[in-house]
Chain A
Amino acid sequence: MDRPWTHLRAALVLVAAYAMATLPLEVGLPGEDVLFLLQRPLRIRQGWGLYGAGPDHAYRLEVWVDDGLVYRSQDPDHTWRFPLFNHRRTKPITVSYCHGEKGRNERAWRSYVLRAVLEDFPEAQSVELLCTRSPWPGDQPQRFQSAVTSAPRWRWRSR
């Protein structure tokens, strides 16, 4: 119990507990900057404001191919490429697009969806990514924003 190692271990555990308790608060306590820097390489920054609030409206994504609906959020009859829009690693981009946040990955996302459409519907002439917005409970969807592209140039236009 009196070996130096046990004291060093106790001190390190104390530092770790201090970091876990104080870093989420970001109040500028001593050593905070150093601890933040240590966390960055492993992407383990502490800060857990998980699920504070829900969205202010009910947003839905719709994917239209040649005026035919192939995907709509929460619609069991239109589930084309469901994982692309709903996997936890891709969903944040879908959500960001539909909430109207001009995310850095929006262009890549649209291009990827277009390639997927042309893979599954090689004869397609137009594609629209439409986001609707409705006051809760979500039964009055209105066009919120959309991007359309069509053959032969396949350049996206926002509506």
Chain B
Amino acid sequence: MNPWTWWVQRVGRPVDARPITLVLQLVVAVLLWDLLSIAWLDLSDAVLFLEADGGLTKRPQSFSILPEPWGGRAAWVTAILAAPFIVAGKGRKIALVVFLVAHSQLGHWQWPGDRGIDRILRTVLVVLLFSDASRDRPPRRVAAWPVDLLTWLLVIIYLDAGYAKLDAEPGWLSLETNELYTILADPLAARLDGVWWAPYQWFFALGGLFTLVLEFSAPLMLFRRTRAMWAVGGVFLHVGIWATMGLGIFPAGMLALYPILFRPWTEKALDRLGSWSGREPPPVSVPPSEG
């Protein structure tokens, strides 16, 4: 078989649509939670208005098409209103386009608060927009390319994060002032007490080693036999980040993508959920060609 034929067959092979749809729902739910937190933490004036109207941002970035002074609030409300339609599967494709435009416009508007995790999750939504799994009533099986593309995106993200750590001084394996220690004890961004934890640099060196090994071994996600094993390490990493750092939706946003990495278990869990709720589970055996 020539490489092109192999590639065409690979991206078109059928897989269970439900884990992909679940990732879409989880990602949007996490972003909705983040948007709502702006209101319940009483930050809407700070985040949704520009400096001239009492907000924190001097001016929006050039791709903003929002009118002043209410543009930020309009984009925020629009994204919040669109999100439930995506989660519930009612007019999902249209709602997804609306949500993507509103959320990215909010990013242009309040760009200091639009972080890496926002870009990651919007990238995921762009990919899923074109999948049959994001239809209101997805077919039982859809082409596998979104699974492959999202797995590939995760591999690149973790590899790049690992690469960025190589130049750090004194380094992630240092027993003097370990980089992981300075991140997790940074008073401006994290929760650990730097003084109390200072004698335990070996602990952070081990954590740094774990992080580097995990990030540089991210290509293991590409193989069916090692994918879930790698993902267990990823879960530990993100739960650790959640427990020690105040990074908002970063851990939850990354973990929202993991149902794809745990696909066989996700499918079994959804089967059981379907049986429990009285819905007939679809046939979801993994075809032999899937890698």
Interface residues of A (CB under 8 A from B): 1, 6-7, 9-10, 13-14, 16-17, 20-21, 24, 40-56, 58-61, 73-74, 83-84, 86-96, 98, 103-105, 107-109, 111-112, 115, 136-139
Chain B interface category by residue count: 35 or more
A-B interface contact total, Cβ < 8 Å = 208
18 A-B residue pairings within 8 Å (CB atoms): A42-B100, A42-B126, A43-B107, A43-B114, A43-B119, A43-B122, A48-B164, A53-B167, A53-B169, A58-B186, A60-B188, A87-B37, A91-B188, A96-B112, A105-B112, A108-B55, A108-B58, A112-B46
Q: Would A51 and B183 count as touching, CB distance under 8 A?
A: yes
Q: Mark B168-191, 1 if CB is under 8 A from A, else 0.
A: 110000000101111111111101
Q: Among A10, A42, A55, A93, which residue has its beta carbon within 8 angstroms of that of B122?
A: A42
- Nearest to B146 among chain A residues (CB) is A13
Q: Which B residues are CB-close (under 8 A) to A96? A: 112
Q: A10-B7, A13-B145 are in contact. List 19 more A-B contacts (CB 8 A).
A: A9-B145, A10-B4, A13-B148, A42-B126, A50-B160, A52-B161, A53-B165, A54-B168, A54-B181, A58-B186, A59-B188, A73-B187, A83-B41, A92-B112, A105-B58, A105-B112, A109-B56, A137-B194, A138-B195
Q: Mark B6-44, 1 if CB is under 8 A from A, else 0.
A: 011101100000000000000000000010011001110
Q: Which A residues are CB-close (under 8 A) to B116? A: 48, 50
Rounded to whole angstroms, the CA-CA distance of A6 and B11 in the bound complex is: 9
- Nearest to B112 among chain A residues (CB) is A92
* B70 on interface, CB distance cutoff 8 Å: no
- Contact segment of B78-86, B87-95, B150-158: B150-158
Q: Would B54 and A115 count as touching, CB distance under 8 A?
A: yes
Given the known A-B contacts A89-B38, A91-B246, A112-B56, are A136 and B182 also in contact in the complex, defined by CB atoms under 8 Å?
A: yes
Please give the distance in Å from B96's CB to the nearest CB on chain A: 12
Q: Would B123 and A44 count as touching, CB distance under 8 A?
A: yes
Q: Which A residues are CB-close (under 8 A) to B100? A: 42
Please give the distance in Å from A17's CB to the nearest CB on chain B: 5
* B213 on interface, CB distance cutoff 8 Å: no
